[in-house]
Structure 1
Amino acid sequence: MRVKNRMTLNPIVANPKTNYNEALRLMKNNHIKHLPIVDKKGNPVGIVTRGDMLRAEPSPVTTLRVFEIASLLENVTMESIMKSPVLAVDESCSITNAANFMLLNEIDSLLVLRDETLVGIITIADIFRTFIEITGGGQSGSRIEAKLPNQKGHLAPFIQALSNAGSYIVSLAISNLDDTDFGYMDVKERGGNEAEIRKELDKLGYVEITSFRQSDSDKLLRLGKE
């Protein structure tokens, strides 16, 4: 999957001379948290996030009045608070590489270029939505976690065993978890019976089921006062 399939097209932008109050209006009116900064030719020169905006505001314990704060922020421009240089990828970049670039550089967005022209932005929220979709998050069914030898020829029988048990595979992910001897499977399935699935996988003789649970068994907790 490519960045171009998940990015926000034609992002809202500002220029280096845009002041704080106008930038804040752009963010609020368009429900965005990332504001690319471009020069007169439309070339990206920086980016401002909602966090950058908050850090530019006076302390919450300031003695300044509201109108004084507004007047003060009117003189704060994006060039004084933007992050520059700003990182970008081509629209053909894979989603996984984009996620890795964000992780390595400790950022939560990347500008997206087509022929060196700004055409979009992809954020960590887009990455999360993609991850949830490809792993079957939010869909009904069961989640199976299994461990099997990291050897050629073991994956196909594993999938066939699930099919024999009546399972429809919604998603399947494999990780080595720094263990070169074993592969760790994370399977989202629906339609299968747990007893039949365990029976079919047990026939293979090399699969260890480490977890078998219904997807809706996970609950969101609310802590503290409402």
Structure 2
Amino acid sequence: MLVEEIMKTDVVTLPPTASIAQALQLLQEHRIRHIPIVNEEYQIIGIVSDRDVRDASPSIFMKDTEQQELENEIQTIMSHPVVTIHPLDFVEEIARIFYDEEFASLPVVRKGNKLVGIVTEKDMLYTLIQLTGTHVQSSHIEIKVPHKPGILPEVTSIFGKRKANIVSVLVYPYKDDPNYKILVFRIQTMNPLPVIQDLREAGYELMWPNNIPEPKL
């Protein structure tokens, strides 16, 4: 999945000469947490967060200086340079940037550093929900398998025999053992018992569900 598929293109921006008061108003009005700062060519030159604005706002005990502080230009508190991403970056790769840098949003730019969109941590979380298939009614199955070529089509063929519609597939390591992997399937059925039984009969170890008893012969 590409960034351009999840980014918001209707981005609230401000010029560097805008006041802190203007930023505060936009943050509250649009219920957003970040405002990219752009020049006349719509090139991003900085970014301001709700925390930046809050820290720059005067204390409630300093009412006499309130208006003066809020009229300072936004460029005096903006963060720069700005870490940006491209519309053709992979979502899975920018997730690492969010995690490593602890960002809450990433502006999206094209050639010439021109702003074309923004991705927030909320967008990333919703995308994760879509990628894992948890946004649709489905049954969850986890299988421990040998880490070897061809294992995925081998397992999915069992689902195919039951004509079970696979919503999503995830693969992750099995503890610290490089000889095994965990396959996580979401299938679009509310009765996964026939598939579960087929998997057991094929010799696969189910990690979930693992509390369903074997049928009596």
* TM-score w.r.t. length of structure 1: 0.83
Aligned length: 208
Contact 1:167 1:192 in 2 (8 A): no
Residue 30 (structure 1) shift: 2.5
Distance 1:57 1:147, change over 3 A: farther
Tell me the amino acid that sits aligned with residue 83 of structure 1: S
Deviations 1:18-59 (A, max 9, x none): 111101112222232210011233221111112222222345
Distance 1:69 1:176, change over 3 A: farther
Structure 2 residue aligned with 1:149, among 141, 146, 149?
146
For residue 183 of structure 1, what is the aligned residue in structure 2?
181
For residue 41 of structure 1, what is the aligned residue in structure 2?
41
Contact 2:140 2:184 in 1 (8 A): yes
Please list, as runs of the form range in 1=range in 2, the aligned pairs for 1:51-90 lying within 5 A after superposition: 51-59=51-59, 62-65=60-63, 68=64, 70-90=66-86
CA distance in 2, matches of 1:58, 1:148: 59
Contact 1:35 1:49 in 2 (8 A): yes
Residue 90 of structure 1: SS of its match in structure 2?
Answer: coil
Contact 1:166 1:191 in 2 (8 A): no
For residue 29 of structure 1, what is the aligned residue in structure 2?
29
CA distance in 2, matches of 1:100, 1:18: 32
Q: Does 1:115 align with 2:111?
A: yes
Q: Does 1:160 align with 2:168?
A: no
Tell me the amino acid that sits aligned with residue 156 of structure 1: P
Contact 1:168 1:192 in 2 (8 A): no
CA distance in 1, matches of 2:4, 2:152: 31
CA distance in 2, matches of 1:185, 1:55: 46
CA distance in 2, matches of 1:20, 1:81: 9
Residue 212 (structure 1) shift: 2.6
Residue 176 of structure 1: SS of its match in structure 2?
Answer: strand
CA distance in 2, matches of 1:164, 1:148: 19
CA distance in 2, matches of 1:38, 1:134: 33
For residue 91 of structure 1, what is the aligned residue in structure 2?
87
Residue 62 of structure 2: SS of its match in structure 1?
Answer: coil
Residue 115 (structure 1) shift: 1.8
Structure 2 residue aligned with 1:102, among 98, 101, 105?
98
Contact 2:33 2:49 in 1 (8 A): yes
Residue 157 (structure 1) shift: 2.0
Residue 144 of structure 1: SS of its match in structure 2?
Answer: strand
Determine what percentage of the aligned residue pairs are the same residue: 26
Distance 1:160 1:84, change over 3 A: same
Residue 166 (structure 1) shift: 4.3
Structure 1 residue aligned with 2:137, among 140, 145, 168?
140
CA distance in 1, matches of 2:185, 2:151: 15
* TM-score w.r.t. length of structure 2: 0.86
